[in-house]
């Protein structure tokens, strides 16, 4: 397919979600404003006495965050899941009102004691310690007999509903595999059964081949990982970070691959921040093998970045109208989004300007 073929409205298929996305590039054929933010959105406060995630501070409910050196994990004081939820009494309920017990745990992982940092601005060695903490949590929570899935994620920025700018992420461990990873499990399993190969290993090759031609969707890469704006991206600057090796989960990672994951996350988030010279908001999360005791050879570890920004530090995309009722839609093509991200400097703009 040539670049020109992408300039008319068309729809693209997402084989992981079995969903279509409408691409309407003709809507963006107006000149780019190149708007950047004047206030970077970064704080230079390294310790905030009012922040419950800063070392030594008291949290709601009376617990105290200890004076920690690098990462710190604790059970969320306002957990959406509880380890001992009873089964709901559903006897005598109508057929269409279905309920199930959902036991689980919600944890908070502080990435660093310094309140002002983000993944993009952390030192590689410190970011590697975050990867180690994620791997430990995945193993520890996944080993619990009642836990079938461990969702690791980060909500970055007030626009994404993050209540606190302190660098931190969350880990929600649930009894059942939630809908998104359940859908991706089914898609990967079906693909493996039909083609005898891994959906995302094959997709990785497709993206590498495309990049050697004229339509690259690659944003950045290192020896172990590739970050692309996927063919089926919904959010304007959505990226998919793919392990180059067939790794089912963090439990399959060797030492080098953990360092490479830290590196690709820093590379990707740095480019995001550089795009609009702002602390770029997003939801980022890992998708990996469920922890329900099945082998899950079909699973291929990846990270999704879902950032809401469209044209500037303040103009965001909304999923409304046709997108809520019909299917998701985007204006800027994944190819041009990738091109813009790829062209940005590797060095964080706050480092450059100081």
Given the residues 112, 166, 168, 348, select the one marked as catalytic.
168
Return d(Cα 82, Cα 100) in angstroms, integer: 14
Is 112 a binding residue for Zn ion by CB under 5 A? The answer is no
Is 115 a binding residue for Zn ion by CB under 5 A? The answer is yes
Cβ proximity to Zn ion: between 271 and 302 the closer is 302
Look at the chain and count its residues.
354
Cβ proximity to Zn ion: between 168 and 258 the closer is 168
Question: CB 132: neighbour CB atoms within 10 A?
Answer: 18
Q: Smallest distance, Å, CB 304 to Zn ion?
A: 5
> By CB under 5 A, which span of 32-40, 107-115, 169-177, 210-218 interacts with Zn ion?
107-115
- Is-catalytic flag, 300? no
Is 287 a binding residue for Zn ion by CB under 5 A? The answer is yes
Is 234 a binding residue for Zn ion by CB under 5 A? The answer is no
Q: Smallest distance, Å, CB 27 to Zn ion?
A: 27
Q: And the tokens for 331? A: 């204006």
**φ, ψ dihedrals at 138, nearest 5°:** -60, -45
Strands 239-243 and 302-306, bridge-based pairing: antiparallel
Return d(Cα 46, Cα 122) in angstroms, integer: 13
Give the per-residue contact string, 235-254, with Zn ion (x = CB under 5 A; - = no).
-----------x--------
Return d(Cα 354, Cα 346) in angstroms, integer: 16
CA 200 to chain centre: 16
Cβ proximity to Zn ion: between 77 and 146 the closer is 77
With CB under 5 A as the contact rule, the residue among 23, 177, 198, 233 that binds Zn ion is 198
> By CB under 5 A, which span of 17-25, 64-72, 131-139, 183-191 interacts with Zn ion?
183-191
The candidate with the shortest Cα–Cα distance to 75, out of 119, 143, 141, 153, is: 141
Cβ proximity to Zn ion: between 128 and 248 the closer is 248
Cβ proximity to Zn ion: between 107 and 287 the closer is 287
Question: CB 13: neighbour CB atoms within 10 A?
Answer: 12
Q: Smallest distance, Å, CB 287 to Zn ion?
A: 3
What crossing angle do the helices spanning 255-275 and 334-343 adopt, rounded to 10°?
A: 100
Q: And the tokens for 310? A: 């469209």
The candidate with the shortest Cα–Cα distance to 37, out of 312, 342, 352, is: 312
Give the per-residue contact string, 141-180, with Zn ion (x = CB under 5 A; - = no).
-------------------------x--------------
Q: Which residues bind Zn ion (CB under 5 A)?
A: 48, 51, 53-54, 115, 166, 184, 198, 200-201, 246, 287, 300
- Which residues are the active-site residues? 168
């Amino acid at each position: 397919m040539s670049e020109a073929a992408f300039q008319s409205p068309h729809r693209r298929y997402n084989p992981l979600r079995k969903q279509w996305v409408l691409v309407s590039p003709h809507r963006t054929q107006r000149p780019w404003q190149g708007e950047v933010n004047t206030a970077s959105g970064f704080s230079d406060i390294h310790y905030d006495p009012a922040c419950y995630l800063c070392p030594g501070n008291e949290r709601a409910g009376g617990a105290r965050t200890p004076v920690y050196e690098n990462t710190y994990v604790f059970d969320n004081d306002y957990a959406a899941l509880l380890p001992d939820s009873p089964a709901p009494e559903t006897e005598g309920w109508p057929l269409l009102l279905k309920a199930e017990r959902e036991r689980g745990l919600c944890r908070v992982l502080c990435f660093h004691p310094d309140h002002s940092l983000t993944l993009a601005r952390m030192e590689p060695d410190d970011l590697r310690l975050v990867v180690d903490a994620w791997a430990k949590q995945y193993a520890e929570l996944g080993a619990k007999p009642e836990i079938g899935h461990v969702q690791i994620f980060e909500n970055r920025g007030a626009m994404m509903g993050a209540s606190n700018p302190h660098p931190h992420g969350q880990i929600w461990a649930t009894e059942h595999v939630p809908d998104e990873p359940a859908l991706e499990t089914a898609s990967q399993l079906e693909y493996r059964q039909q083609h005898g190969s891994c959906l995302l290993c094959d997709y990785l090759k497709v993206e590498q081949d495309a990049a050697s031609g004229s339509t690259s969707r690659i944003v950045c890469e290192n020896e172990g990982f590739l970050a692309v704006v996927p063919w089926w991206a919904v959010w304007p600057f959505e990226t998919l970070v793919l392990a180059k090796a067939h790794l089912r989960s963090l439990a399959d990672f060797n030492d080098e691959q953990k360092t490479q994951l830290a590196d690709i996350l820093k590379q990707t988030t740095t480019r995001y921040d550089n795009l609009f010279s702002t602390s770029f908001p997003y939801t980022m999360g890992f998708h990996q093998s469920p922890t329900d005791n099945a082998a899950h050879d079909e699973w291929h570890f990846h990270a999704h970045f879902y950032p809401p920004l469209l044209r500037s530090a303040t103009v965001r995309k909304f999923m409304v109208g046709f997108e809520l009722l019909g299917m998701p839609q985007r204006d800027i093509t994944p190819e041009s989004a990738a091109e813009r991200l790829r062209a940005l400097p590797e060095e964080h703009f706050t480092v450059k300007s100081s």
